[in-house]
Structure 1
Amino acid sequence: MNLITICAVLLLFIGYHEFVVDGVAVEIDLRLTDKQKKIMDKFKQIMIPKLPHNYMKEEIYLVRWLRATDFDLKKSEEFLLQNLKWRKQQKMDVIHKEDWSDMQHDFPYYIDVVDKKGQPVITAISRDWDIRNAIVTGRIRRVLRYLDKAMDEANGLVRTFQLEGQNVTQFILILHMGNFNLFQHGCPRCITSILEFVESYENHFPGTADRILLVNTPPAFEPIAQLVREAMTPSTREALKIYGNEPKVWKKLLLDLIDADQLTPEFGGTKSEKPS
């Protein structure tokens, strides 16, 4: 093996290693075997005439539905068609034009920062979310729709970043669980609602979260966490990481992923204000 060949092999290895470590690059999402590429080509031929938006016709969008079904062409077609039907029924194309001021006040989440790789980051704090109250006051369906809006917003940001030339395909979700309690968050109907959100994510936004991090989580959440894990697909289960009430551990983790000036003090950062 001559010197040029050795250098080429090393460069390929380094490049591959960087993609695997990065985990968010467009290239790794679109790295397909010959068999998978043929399935992708067939999938595009079948689906593109049926897709209402240009972004849906891109391989980076289509591949998520193939990966969710382990490249089963028929299942992928049915899966995506079901999602299109759901989006139409739920009027997802105009969901961001609706007045969400009541939800933003009572169930705030924030999606105004990025991690060190440029991925959008959603943060929320359990003390701000009284799920039982939403159930008692008849607002739980609206809360679940609001969560669908959040997932759609995160995916929209990813697409915006891609158009700007950033190598991003996923987002991060971080939930601060420090004020979790069984009365407000762990009642039977609360658990059902949490599982409904997981189901909606899996059905309509599969594989879009790079990491789902629950931090400062009390022991009382563990039985619910087990139910949540069982409701997730293997890839989502792998993305889910739950950290207990050991701030030194999870704050270090967050600061390894996200600059301190992008996180508020609750999450171990130095950001002083949240958006209005």
Structure 2
Amino acid sequence: MRGGKCVSNLVAGAAIILAIVGATVCLENLSLTQVEKQKLEQLKQAISSINFPIHRMKEELNLVRYLRARRWDVPGAKDMLLQTVKWWKDNNMDEIHTEDWSSVAKEYPINTDGVDRNGQPVFVFSIGDWDLRRAALQGKLDLAIRHFIKGFDEVHVKSIEYNKSGKSNGTQWNFISNLDKLSRQQHLCIPCLRFYTGIMLMFESHYPGSTEKIFVINAPSIFSVILTLVQPILSPETYKALQILGTNKEQWGPILFSHIAKDQLPESVGGSRT
């Protein structure tokens, strides 16, 4: 089973359990072979009659990501795009950034202000700030998931805008999940588990190939519950981006800060940005 070794190592102790790429620059590969270029042109023709709700869905970079997610199978990529169009409309994604999130943002905080050393945006999420059990009991879990989706889309849009304006050398974004204070009671209750599967299904289905690196820091042994739950959902590309780090800041700090400067990160993950 994919990720099985990761789970057993993490249960054995809080340590670095996935291979660490380190400080090497690993921007998205945008080069295509001749065959891949032909597949791209075929997909363009196949989707020419689709009424996309937003322009970025039909841009070449997005089409390439969907093709890669479906191993260059054009009908599969088209079907995946159609599912994203349906999801976008069904979830009123056109309105998500103009909704009133003032009260929700205090209860379920996220940070999308920083950038990595290549100028790519960073999404920071600290699980200790979110009481998922209370959200589930109060019937707010779907709202919490929607707020999380808003954050994903926000950094996704930033990654496109930063690249087009020359602010970024890359085309992707980064995700940091801080698991400090991860609690069985507040974060691993049975109703809570839908949060993790919901956001990962959304990510893999509608934002394929969009992250350069995913850092999971302060990962305790009970993180294996979440990893086991979501591992069937994760694509090989997501596994490649994933770096799961233990609870020792002296170990995860140099790895994280080599990729993202401290002044671009909030204090919750060892940064100095306020």
| TM-score, length-scaled by structure 1 | 0.86
Using CA pairs under 8 Å that are at least 6 residues apart, name the structure with larger relative contact order, 1 or 2: 2
Alpha-carbon distance, 1:163 to partner: 2.1
Is the contact made by 1:126 and 1:176 (CA closer than 8 Å) also made in structure 2?
A: yes
> Deviation string for 1:124-149 (max 9, x for gaps)?
21111111111000011111111211
> Deviation string for 1:158-195 (max 9, x for gaps)?
11112202332111110111110100001112122211
Match of 1:234 in 2: 236
1:155 pairs with 2:156: yes
Alpha-carbon distance, 1:40 to partner: 0.2
2: CA distance, partners of 1:264 / 1:217: 18
Is the contact made by 2:204 and 2:233 (CA closer than 8 Å) also made in structure 1?
A: no
Is the contact made by 2:127 and 2:178 (CA closer than 8 Å) also made in structure 1?
A: yes
Is the contact made by 1:174 and 1:213 (CA closer than 8 Å) also made in structure 2?
A: yes
Instruction: State how 1:10-89 maps to structure 2 within 5 Å.
Output: 22-25=25-28, 28-29=29-30, 31-50=31-50, 51-89=52-90
Change (3 A) 1:269 1:193: closer
2: CA distance, partners of 1:223 / 1:55: 35
Letter of the aligned partner of 1:100 in structure 2? Answer: W
Match of 1:209 in 2: 211
2: CA distance, partners of 1:246 / 1:191: 26
Letter of the aligned partner of 2:187 in structure 1? Answer: H
> Deviation string for 1:199-224 (max 9, x for gaps)?
11111111111111110111122232
2: CA distance, partners of 1:196 / 1:116: 30
1: CA distance, partners of 2:43 / 2:156: 21
1: CA distance, partners of 2:146 / 2:126: 18
Is the contact made by 1:254 and 1:267 (CA closer than 8 Å) also made in structure 2?
A: no
CA RMSD, 1 decimal: 1.5
Alpha-carbon distance, 1:111 to partner: 0.4
Match of 1:175 in 2: 177
Q: Aligned pairs, how many?
A: 249
1: CA distance, partners of 2:53 / 2:98: 19
Change (3 A) 1:176 1:156: same
1:164 pairs with 2:165: yes
Is the contact made by 1:48 and 1:57 (CA closer than 8 Å) also made in structure 2?
A: no
Match of 1:11 in 2: none
Percent identity between the two aligned chains: 33
Structure 1 residue runs of 5 or longer lacking an equivalent are 1-20
Equivalent of residue 268 in structure 1, options 242, 267, 270: 270
2: CA distance, partners of 1:253 / 1:190: 30
Is the contact made by 1:119 and 1:171 (CA closer than 8 Å) also made in structure 2?
A: yes
Change (3 A) 1:65 1:225: same
1:224 pairs with 2:226: yes
Is the contact made by 1:176 and 1:267 (CA closer than 8 Å) also made in structure 2?
A: yes
1:108 pairs with 2:109: yes
Letter of the aligned partner of 2:251 in structure 1? Answer: V
1: CA distance, partners of 2:246 / 2:267: 17
Structure 2 residue runs of 5 or longer lacking an equivalent are 1-23
Alpha-carbon distance, 1:57 to partner: 2.7
Letter of the aligned partner of 2:161 in structure 1? Answer: T
In our comparison, the structure showing a higher alpha carbon Rg is 1
> Which is further off, 184-193 or 129-138?
184-193
Alpha-carbon distance, 1:229 to partner: 2.2
Is the contact made by 1:172 and 1:212 (CA closer than 8 Å) also made in structure 2?
A: yes
2: CA distance, partners of 1:52 / 1:107: 28
Alpha-carbon distance, 1:58 to partner: 1.9
